[in-house]
Structure 1
Amino acid sequence: MKQSDLRRDWERNRVSVKSLFIILFFRASVWAAQRTNPAAKLLGLPVRILYKFVVEIVMGIELPDRVVAGPGLAVFHGVGLVVNARTILGSNVTLRQNTTIGSKIDGGLPPRIGDGVSVGANCVILGDIEVGDHSIIGAGTVLTRDCPARSVVHGPKAQIREPG
């Protein structure tokens, strides 16, 4: 991860020590997970174990270090957050508490979340779908179908209001 990407993470999470801790620890664990040299992998193992214990078990946030997340990821009030390990998150994505992002069935593909997407609290985003760039997913939304860029999605039946 580039220094400029870490700076974006810092800027988006600096208002909350908890959020900043989660994201920087996530980035460290991702870095450790991506090592190919056996010695570096071994040295990174304690970071990954500690990350899983502290963030997942103690804090109640499932953000696996296999998630592909662009720079500027923000997690606000992350308790109850569950993200499938194969999820792809664009740059400057905001995630809030009690949200699930995953597949509809075991082994199924999870969503792809575009750049600048804001996901409200208590959302469920499931299946092999794409959430377009700069969309807003309102609190309590259940989303199981694609939504275009710059959409506002709200309600348990995911009413999609497209731009324009």
Structure 2
Amino acid sequence: MTSARQEFRAMWAADRRANAAYPKSRVVLRWFRAAQRWRATSGPLGRLMFLAVGGSYKVVTEGFMGIELPVSTTVGPGLRLRHGVGLVVNPASRIGAGVMLRHGVTLGNRRAADDCPVIEDGVELGVGVVVIGAVTVGAGARIGPNAVVHRDVPAGAVVLSPESVVRS
């Protein structure tokens, strides 16, 4: 069984490699992973550290940077953030490994609080993409800029905007 610290290090290493040319993304994701690590650590020290790290992460990223990526969101290793501004992710969304999120992306619920998207491994989401509701975007899919996705996308598919045309 891996500890929260080991998991943090593995996730952060993958994020660091995926964002080698993007220093802002590296800072945001290191902070995100550190907050996740302290959230997973039990005991008074874990709670205190989460309050400090998670609180400062939330204030700075949401308040000043316009990046709403909650610490409670399940995110696989190697997340690639491109610019990040205007990013809104519902905490109940699930994001796989090696996913790219560009600025203006929204992953949100449709009817209930947990009615959120599942983004599988290797998916690329273009600028301004909105994925809404309990949909699955299959592994390796590419979603074009400003597309609105409200139904499942098969693995490897390309979704074009503005009318969400799906090509398999």
TM over 0.5: yes
Residues 1:155 and 2:151 aligned together? no
Q: Which runs of 5+ in 2 are unaligned?
A: 1-6
Query: Which residue matches 1:99?
Result: 105
Residues 1:20 and 2:29 aligned together? no
Q: TM-score, normalised by structure 1?
A: 0.94
Mean CA deviation greater in 33-42 or 68-77: 33-42
1:72 deviates by 0.1
Q: Are the aligned partners of 2:8 and 2:34 in contact in 1 as well (CA < 8 Å)? A: no
1:99 deviates by 1.1
1:38 deviates by 2.9
Query: Which residue matches 1:71?
Result: 77
Q: Secondary structure at the match of 2:68?
A: coil
The AA in structure 2 aligned to 1:73 is L
Mean CA deviation greater in 103-112 or 56-65: 103-112
1:112 deviates by 0.2
Query: Which residue matches 1:141?
Result: 147
The AA in structure 2 aligned to 1:97 is H
1:57 deviates by 0.4
1:2 deviates by 5.0
Mean CA deviation greater in 3-12 or 45-54: 3-12
Runs of 4+, deviation exceeding 6 Å: none
Q: Are the aligned partners of 2:92 and 2:113 in contact in 1 as well (CA < 8 Å)? A: no
Query: Which residue matches 2:91?
Result: 85
- Over the matched positions of the two proteins, sequence identity in percent amounts to 37
Cα distance in 1 for partners of 2:114, 2:15 equals 29
Cα distance in 1 for partners of 2:108, 2:8 equals 28
1:22 deviates by 1.0
Cα distance in 2 for partners of 1:2, 1:34 equals 10
Residues 1:122 and 2:128 aligned together? yes
Q: Are the aligned partners of 1:110 and 1:126 in contact in 2 as well (CA < 8 Å)? A: yes
2:43 to 37, 42, 47: 37
Residues 1:109 and 2:115 aligned together? yes
Q: Which runs of 5+ in 1 are unaligned?
A: none
Cα distance in 1 for partners of 2:154, 2:119 equals 11
Q: Secondary structure at the match of 1:65?
A: coil
Q: Are the aligned partners of 2:8 and 2:37 in contact in 1 as well (CA < 8 Å)? A: no
Cα distance in 2 for partners of 1:138, 1:31 equals 33
